[in-house]
Amino acid sequence: MKSGTVRGKIISNSAMILLVMTIATLYLGLASSELARSVEILFRNNILMKDLGGSLDDTRSSLSGYLTSKSSDSLKGYIMYSTRLSDQARRLNREIRRDESLLLQRDLARLVDRYLEDAEAGVRAKRGRDVAGYTERFESSEMTADLIRVLVAKIEAIYLSDSLKAFSGFDSRIPAVLMTDAALILAASLMGLMLVIRYSYKLTDPLSKLAEAARAVGRGDYGHELPAPDSADEIGTMAEAFSSMRDNVQSAFEELRSKSEVEKRLMEERMRVLDMGHKLKDAELLALQTQINPHFLFNTLSAGMQLALSEGGDRTAEFMEKLAGFMRYVLKPPSRSVLVSDEIECAERYIWLLRLRFGERYTFDLSAEDDVLGVETPALLLQPLVENAVTHGLKDREKGGEVRISARLEDGMAVLSVEDNGEGMDPADVEKFRAEGTDDGLEEGRIGLRNVIKRIALATGGEGIVELQSSPSLGTTVRIRLPAGGSV
């Protein structure tokens, strides 16, 4: 690079300023690295200890909950937290070292292993109904957990002490570091100010003339006199380039063509994003359709077991056949469309199972017009609504509970409805649903209705409609309107 150019002069002077600034920065950085290392030691090790202590507390709580109540949620929590605790324990030192904290980590790792062994043995004893066994193992695990807590606190104290010692040594040198760094920065700032003053006068005058010529060209005055290049530096080169650019307006067409290519690529990218959005909706639909109520399955299987114990076998075989047919329908690929007749058949199987479970407590009425049976619909719409009606609407009725299911064609739409004479819903929830077109305001227990609304919106592209009518003590009606164009 020629030293006579403006660029060369600015770069050479700027390099000196940058060198001084770099020295100042490196000096401060090296001096600060000691503090950074001490703080890093404190945070890295203390975070490990705090995470391990938190995982231990969560594991203890979940284990205690499971051993006292045998709750499935507590067992799931225990499995998750104990796995995380085991993973954290594997990060501890397990070798013999001279460092006191590493030796304590080795002891801590052994205690965590012992705790997890006792906890696992207690869970196995609980499953085997060995009361004495899981009580003994639980007490042993609690004693080990207390020892772990003491050891964690001791290790944290050692880490804190080491970090404070390192920080104290750095703190004593801070004034000298700041004074030296300030002197270097001040020198670099003065050099920079001198460079700005020197070159501002040299650059501004010819650049002002060139800017005026550019404004004239922008107004369409291509005959405006351009400043004559009086030097061989970058400003002179800029003036010559501007003159050449004025005479080559056709280059703008090339830029337009380039812009067209960019827009084409942008459109392709938008199409790719749109395709990804469709795939995301399909994935969400798949996830929503695979939700199954485990309570119904558990209660129904329990009823089947009781029936098998009390009867000879024919009715039990019918029960198993109905349940198998229902589960086979539910567990098919959820992204499918089915016929209304399939939905009606699924609802009939489900009602048979409900009658088996509740006896004469509830009555069910199911009707479907022939002309709607061949209409295509998203799978598994009626069963969740019937389940909601029984589980929430009729839960407090010992007798007289009614559920009416119907399917018909109306104004080119397939209308599926589920109605109950149960306790109904709060008017505020109903109004919020009608105003917002969503069930987010409904109580958490009505997952079936929430599932149905979301799946209909995704599967029909927003053409499907879910209507809700409910009053306290007067029951609830959920009405689904689907386009009937997919009939067969």
b/e map 131-164, b = 16+ CB within 10 Å: eeebeebbebbbebbeebeebbebbbeebeebbe
Contact 155, 105 (CB under 8 A): yes
Rounded to whole angstroms, the Cα distance separating 10 from 241 reads 21
- The H or E element containing residue 382 is helix 382-388
Q: What's the confidence (pLDDT) of residue 281?
A: 61
Q: Confidence band (pLDDT; 50, 70, 90) for 45?
A: low
Q: What is the DSSP letter of 488?
A: -
- The CATH classification number of 337-483 equals 3.30.565.10
Please check whether residue 445 is in contact with residue 389, taking contact to mean a CB–CB distance below 8 angstroms: no
Contact between 133 and 121 under an 8 Å Cβ cutoff? The reply is yes
Q: Which of 356, 451, 354, 443 is nearest to 405 (CA)?
A: 354
Cβ neighbour number for residue 304 with a 10 Å cutoff:
19
* The pLDDT value given to residue 467: 92
- 281 neighbors 266 (Cβ within 8 angstroms): no
Of 438, 424, 428, 409, whose CA–CA distance to 469 is shortest? 424
Q: Is 476 in a helix, a strand, or coil?
A: strand
pLDDT of residue 341: 94
Composition of the chain by helix, strand, coil, percent to 5:
70, 10, 20
Ranges 202-206, 280-284, 394-398: which has the least confidence: 280-284
Amino acid letter, residue 359: G
**Predicted confidence band of residue 165 (pLDDT cuts 50, 70, 90):** confident
Contact between 361 and 398 (Cβ < 8 Å): yes
CA distance 100 to 97: 8
Mean pLDDT on 2-29: 68
Residue 441: which pLDDT band, with cuts at 50, 70 and 90? very low
Per-residue pLDDT at 31: 63
Identify the residue with better confidence: 210 or 383: 383
Find, among 293, 343, 462, 473, the residue nearest to 396 by Cα: 473
Tokens describing residue 362: 């509830």
The per-residue pLDDT of the chain, averaged, comes to 77
Q: Where are the domains of the chain?
A: 6-175, 252-289, 337-483
Count CB-CB contacts under 10 A for residue 16. Answer: 13
Selection from 52-61, 187-196, 204-213 with the highest mean pLDDT? 52-61
Place of tokens 């043995």: 121
Report residue 478: phi and psi, to 5°.
-110, 125
Question: Looking at domain 6-175, which CATH architecture does it have?
Answer: Up-down Bundle (1.20)
Would you state the structure tokens that stand for residue 344, as one six-digit string?
């009606």
pLDDT for 347 beyond 90: yes
Q: Is 139 helix (H, G, I), strand (E, B) or coil?
A: helix
Give the model's pLDDT for residue 445. 45
